[in-house]
A = this chain, B = another copy of it.
């Protein structure tokens, strides 16, 4: 990914203006030269162009689309004040080694251009601290309308988030409309028509995300958290027993049946075609062994396999089979930390997501010591609504503050903000996410030494929030105050 250099230029009409500081630039870039020359932009004289020597040229759909999108953001009708500007000529240059870098560099131009002072600093050097900067959305506990997800992707891009971890299905509902297994959503969704994501919906989301430099990683959590699957796929879940008889309730996926792995293989094959990202999240959290224990067929299987009473071994077996499936699909699997904890050969795992509270750094140390990559989520659980000033709690996380070698540190590939859906749907998603997730965004993008002060971050984040309001995002206030353009429900 570092082989091509992209160079593009933006031609513009400039006028010197008074200095205005760095308010609203978020997340903080690595280097921003605040030289004495400051310019204001004239929209009529402004255009994005590919550089002559750029390896990307007209026809690069991602950047072509970005030019169009960002021009509108740079010059929204109501903020152009042409009378203040006079005309002179100039140009700026953006050099990036990938299309995605160009995309995110561009978002800096936009940041700088549309803030109140309309200053432009021509020299910015920037790169992300972590390659994985994610947000988890949960569409099982509540259905999130497609439009809500698309809008969230837009705001993610403003924050330089680059991964949507989509926790598609779970116990309460199965909104993924499968081509191979239509009964899963026909019987497992809250409603088979109005509360499902069709294949077309998903293609739209994936494309919308891609144009904004965002990967979508789907999670099909199993073997636990699968109650909704059972409705449309008889035989998938383990029948729980009360004494000698089935209790009528069901537990995790039945790991003793090869038919279930066949089903999983076919479902994940479909999913892996729909989602181009190399990662697939397999879940694996909170597997309740008690139902497996209660079931005589499972107990017999345990005996046959020589597992004794260690149901972690059964869980391991399940995940070995699942990871074989993922391997044949040429994908990389992500699992929740539980799998690392009960797995008999944890080193065989690809990527582990650390989510539990308590000493999460201990777990990060253990997983990286085993040579396995880590995504850190524990300190960024936003789903429990709390006072907005919690943003500082999310901001002051130090993801690398664990004891370990340099190699271990490099294995921490990034972090993730989790917005679980128990109390979240389209009515409150935006104010719950923004700007609290923005605090995590800066932590994951920027240099920690340059962004360690909450009090210095506060005015920048407050200004960034006002910018989000102007773009129609329902980002809630940090504290007492106002924005030039307040959010108004129209």
Report A's interface with B, CB cutoff 8 A.
Answer: 141-143, 145, 147-148, 151, 172-173, 190-191, 194-195, 384-389, 421-428, 430-431, 469, 474-482, 484, 486-490
Task: Provide a sorted-by-A list of 8 A–B residue pairs whose CB atoms are within 8 angstroms.
Answer: A142-B480, A142-B481, A172-B480, A385-B386, A422-B480, A426-B487, A427-B487, A428-B477
Instruction: Judge whether A425 and B477 touch: CB under 8 Å.
Output: yes
Q: How far is the CB of A19 from chain B (nearest CB, A)?
A: 23
A391, B128: Cα distance in complex, Å = 42
Instruction: Judge whether A388 and B423 touch: CB under 8 Å.
Output: yes
Residues of B contacting A145 in the complex (Cβ-Cβ under 8 angstroms):
486-489
A122, B489: Cα distance in complex, Å = 37
**A-B contact sample (6 more), CB < 8 A, given A145-B488, A424-B476, A426-B489:** A147-B488, A190-B482, A422-B479, A427-B430, A427-B469, A428-B474
A247, B442: Cα distance in complex, Å = 39
Instruction: Judge whether B387 and A384 touch: CB under 8 Å.
Output: yes
Q: A431-B428, A482-B195, A487-B427 are in contact. Are A387 and B387 (CB under 8 A)?
A: no
Instruction: Judge whether A387 and B388 touch: CB under 8 Å.
Output: no
Residues of B contacting A481 in the complex (Cβ-Cβ under 8 angstroms):
142, 172, 190
Q: How far is the CB of A392 from chain B (nearest CB, A)?
A: 13
A147, B488: Cα distance in complex, Å = 7
Q: How far is the CB of A147 from chain B (nearest CB, A)?
A: 6
Instruction: Judge whether A477 and B431 touch: CB under 8 Å.
Output: no
Residues of B contacting A428 in the complex (Cβ-Cβ under 8 angstroms):
428, 431, 474, 476-477
Q: How far is the CB of A436 from chain B (nearest CB, A)?
A: 11
Q: Which residue from chain B places its CB closest to the CB of A385 in the assembled complex?
A: B385
Residues of B contacting A469 in the complex (Cβ-Cβ under 8 angstroms):
427
A145, B469: Cα distance in complex, Å = 13
Q: How far is the CB of A28 from chain B (nearest CB, A)?
A: 24
Partner of A486, one of B426, B479, B487: B426
Q: How far is the CB of A483 from chain B (nearest CB, A)?
A: 9
Q: Which residue from chain B places its CB closest to the CB of A138 in the assembled complex?
A: B480
Among A195, A425, A474, residue most surrounded by chain B Cβ atoms (within 10 Å): A425
Q: How far is the CB of A404 from chain B (nearest CB, A)?
A: 35
Q: How far is the CB of A309 from chain B (nearest CB, A)?
A: 33
Residues of B contacting A426 in the complex (Cβ-Cβ under 8 angstroms):
486-489
Q: A477-B142, A481-B142 are in contact. Are A487 and B425 (CB under 8 A)?
A: yes
Residues of B contacting A482 in the complex (Cβ-Cβ under 8 angstroms):
142-143, 173, 190-191, 195
A386, B432: Cα distance in complex, Å = 11
Q: How far is the CB of A476 from chain B (nearest CB, A)?
A: 4
A482, B423: Cα distance in complex, Å = 11
Q: Which residue from chain B places its CB closest to the CB of A388 in the assembled complex?
A: B423
